[in-house]
């Protein structure tokens, strides 16, 4: 067994965990009609997408063909893996969150979610060796 291969497999994998879309009533600012989407990148970073950014990203993803979506996920996941492997420096935080959002949102669309406000509690696991994500709902 090639020990380098085992290290590469572990290093190219990550997990994104989301408690689901939260409407305004579940957080401060309950007078507003907008919500947010929060997710964790591994055990290191908690990221948040506000309602307007979420809708803008969701709309942009609507026009992607399946092949374009798969390629975009692969590029973002590879880049996020590199950032996480090198140690998440403060300068890389924005890039890491952006890449994670791409992987997460496209995984949701590819899993049949039709409305970003309907994103349930879930976990997205990326396997870099296989170049694919697995989505688990209700976790």
Minimal CA–CA distance to 73: which of 109, 122, 118? 109
The domain locations on the chain are: 3-137
| DSSP-H helix ranges across 12-65 | 51-62
* Residue-wise pLDDT tens digits, 14-68: 999 999 998 866 445 444 447 899 999 988 789 999 999 999 999 999 889 999 9
Q: How far is CA 82 from CA 31, 42, 78, 137, in A?
A: 40, 13, 6, 26
Where does the pLDDT of residue 90 fall: very low under 50, low under 70, confident under 90, or very high at 90 and above? low
Q: What is this structure's pTM? A: 0.82
62 is written with which tokens? 């609507």
Longest C-alpha distance within the chain, in Å? 58
């Amino acid at each position: 067994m090639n020990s380098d291969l085992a290290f590469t497999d572990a290093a190219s994998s990550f997990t994104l965990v989301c408690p689901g879309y939260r409407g305004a009533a579940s957080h401060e600012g309950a007078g507003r009609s907008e919500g947010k989407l929060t997710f964790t990148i591994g055990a290191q970073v908690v990221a948040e997408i506000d309602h307007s950014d979420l809708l803008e990203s969701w709309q942009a993803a609507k026009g992607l063909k399946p092949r374009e979506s798969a390629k975009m996920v692969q590029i973002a996941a590879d880049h996020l893996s590199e950032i996480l492997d090198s140690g998440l420096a403060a300068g890389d935080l924005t890039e890491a969150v952006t890449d994670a959002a791409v992987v997460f949102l496209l995984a949701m669309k590819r899993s049949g979610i039709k409305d970003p406000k309907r994103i349930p509690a879930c976990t997205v696991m990326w396997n870099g060796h296989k170049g694919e994500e697995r989505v688990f709902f209700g976790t």
